[in-house]
Amino acid sequence: MAARRRLALLSTVLLLVPVGCADEDGQGRQEGGGDGGTSSPERTAERVMADMDRDEKIGQLFVPTVSGTTPEENSDLISEYHPGGLIYFPENLTDTGQIAELSNGLQELAEDSGAGVPLLLGVDQEQGTVARLPVGTRFPDAMAVGATRSTDHAAALAGTTADELAALGITMDYAPVADVNVDPDNPVIGIRSFGSDPELVGRMAAAQARAFQEGGVAPVVKHFPGHGDTDVDSHTGLPTVDVSRETWEERDLPPFRQAVDAGADAVMTAHVLTPGLDGSGEPATLSPELVSGVLRDELGYDGVVTTDALNMDGVRQTHGDGEIAVRALEAGADQLLMPPDLETAATAVRDAVEEGRISQKRLDTSVRRVLTLKAERGLYDAEPVDPEAAEETLGSEEHRAAARDLAEDAVTLLRNEDGTLPLEEGDTVHVTGRGAEEIGARLAEAGIERADTAADADTVVVGTADARDDTQQRRRVTAAVESGTPVVVVAQATPYSLAEFDGVEGYLATYSDVGVSRTAAARALTGEVNPSGKLPVGVPGADAGYGDGQGL
């Protein structure tokens, strides 16, 4: 029976449902909102749950990956498993109309299946490096936002992204990143983080969480308890954050506390070991001490907790895929993201419920949270999205202007010896490295002549992206310096490579290699943009000891 029809039929049970339904620990989410303005999200969740059988409830705990590019390719998955949500990846997406129709079709399948509960359709659209959509406005990475120091820019990124996702029928974004990046060798966070200052990261993450929710999209704050101090990628291994509880509370906890205080809809757990917080030897995703103990009890968080993807190696070190699903729920998770074998995971959870390892009360607690979130985001009353309206929304001039403004305010000038910058009309420049064509084309538009070699130029501009870890990029910069022509580096990822390039006359950081960031860099090179950004991280080993907050 469809969700909306069922709500009407079940309205008579409203008086039987207690207000502010409590969880196992007696705590409940605050009332507010409701379906059609007639009921609180909590009461809506109770009415929906009253009509669900055990398997339909178990299904709400899972968020598998969408199959193919059409709704029909997901028909069996939805009818058999009744998932609480689905997640999109680039292979599922082609253009605006197709994405909108896919979302509509998936929701129709969910409405006609089992209990008829709508789906949370999610995507990793952090912007910058992690942006799964092939359409829409492209913003710079989070570290660029941190360089602006502006919560207005943070909110503009999230609000604009939410507008575009909602127009496509996407109702959950696995963003923002609340990790404090303090390890220059971090292979997986880096510019996805707002910076290395916990207070700055917290302000930006909270601002984005609020803006996503105001735009009708559920944000997922990640990766609790923090993934910023690792040199291992949890996609391919199990990282260890080996710090004391005191250090963690001072450095990694504040952004998550601010996000919780801001009422963030969901929090994602990390596949990291934290021996200073939990001696179980389990990654945080499987740790009751961290999820139920710290996040739930100490921080008082009662929203949805989702795991990071369960197909990642970081969580598959010591247990089978079915046991991982059960242990994540025992730890306190509500949704299990991307299990590598959905049948194995669902069977294991079903067996755990039948055997009493997971109590009916524990199952209902998580289902209630998921259903409440769906009510809070208006999913039960949602109409199909309009593909034509989506075409007008995505990439609108207003949205593109917001991305340009952010990119320009983020550009940070960290070195400018002998007045090398700005370049002037009539100067000749040799542009090489990352983004050379885009940057060079924009310089040409400003009247800067292109030179084929460094020897023929007044200035050499070398584009880099994490050159600190790339021998070929470092050699390119070294060759430019050895030409004797003044060299300006445009760093389009983390700024840590500054310490490697003592011999360059100029150094600009954009913290992103998206188009608007490269255009902003070119405009800063010519003086059209005042590079007003400030370092959101410290640069260890740099000749001038560049610290957080510096910039010329």
Q: The tokens 């059988």 sit on which residue?
A: 53
550 falls within a domain: no
- Regarding whether 157 and 60 lie in a shared domain, the answer is yes
Q: Residue 488's domain is classified under what CATH number? A: 3.40.50.1700
- Regarding whether 364 and 454 lie in a shared domain, the answer is no
Decide which of 339, 372, 397 is a domain's last residue: 397
- Regarding whether 454 and 481 lie in a shared domain, the answer is yes
Question: Looking at residue 221, what is its pLDDT?
Answer: 98
Residues with catalytic roles: 308
Question: Looking at residue 8, what is its pLDDT?
Answer: 40
Q: What are 376's strand-pairing partners? A: none
52 falls within a domain: yes
Question: Looking at residue 541, what is its pLDDT?
Answer: 78
C-alpha distance from residue 552 to each of 28, 532, 546 (Å) = 50, 8, 11
Q: The tokens 């079915």 sit on which residue?
A: 322
Q: Residue 384's domain is classified under what CATH number? A: 3.20.20.300
> How high is the mean pLDDT in each 10-residue block of the chain (552 residues)?
40 35 38 51 96 97 98 98 98 98 98 93 98 98 98 98 98 98 94 97 98 98 96 91 96 98 98 96 97 97 98 94 98 98 98 98 98 97 97 98 98 96 96 98 96 97 94 96 98 94 95 98 97 94 64 65
- Regarding whether 430 and 361 lie in a shared domain, the answer is no
Distance, in Å, from the CA atom of 366 to the CA atom of 45, rounded to the nearest integer, reads 11
Note whether 479 and 467 are within 8 A (CB): no
- Regarding whether 332 and 451 lie in a shared domain, the answer is no
Question: Looking at residue 545, what is its pLDDT?
Answer: 57
- Regarding whether 347 and 424 lie in a shared domain, the answer is no
- Regarding whether 340 and 243 lie in a shared domain, the answer is yes
The one-letter code for the residue type at 252 is: D
> What count of residues does the chain have?
552
Single out the residue of 79, 76, 74, 99 nearest to residue 89, CA to CA: 99
Secondary structure (3-state) at 221:
strand
Q: How many domains does the chain have?
A: 2
Question: Looking at residue 469, what is its pLDDT?
Answer: 86
C-alpha distance from residue 506 to each of 78, 478, 538 (Å) = 56, 14, 18
- Beta-strand pair 459-464/428-433: parallel
- Regarding whether 376 and 442 lie in a shared domain, the answer is no
Note whether 195 and 511 are within 8 A (CB): no
402 falls within a domain: no
- Beta-strand pair 412-416/506-509: antiparallel
Quote the domain boundaries for residue 116.
3-13+33-397
- Regarding whether 300 and 426 lie in a shared domain, the answer is no
538 falls within a domain: no
- Regarding whether 259 and 234 lie in a shared domain, the answer is yes
- Regarding whether 138 and 48 lie in a shared domain, the answer is yes
The one-letter code for the residue type at 284 is: A
For the chain, the first-to-last Cα distance in angstroms comes to 63
- Beta-strand pair 125-127/130-131: antiparallel
Distance, in Å, from the CA atom of 551 to the CA atom of 511, rounded to the nearest integer, reads 14
Note whether 547 and 535 are within 8 A (CB): yes
Distance, in Å, from the CA atom of 68 to the CA atom of 169, rounded to the nearest integer, reads 17
Secondary structure (3-state) at 166:
helix
Q: Is 452 exposed, middle or buried (0-12, 13-18, 19+ CB in 10 A)?
A: exposed
Question: Looking at residue 114, what is its pLDDT?
Answer: 81
- Regarding whether 419 and 372 lie in a shared domain, the answer is no
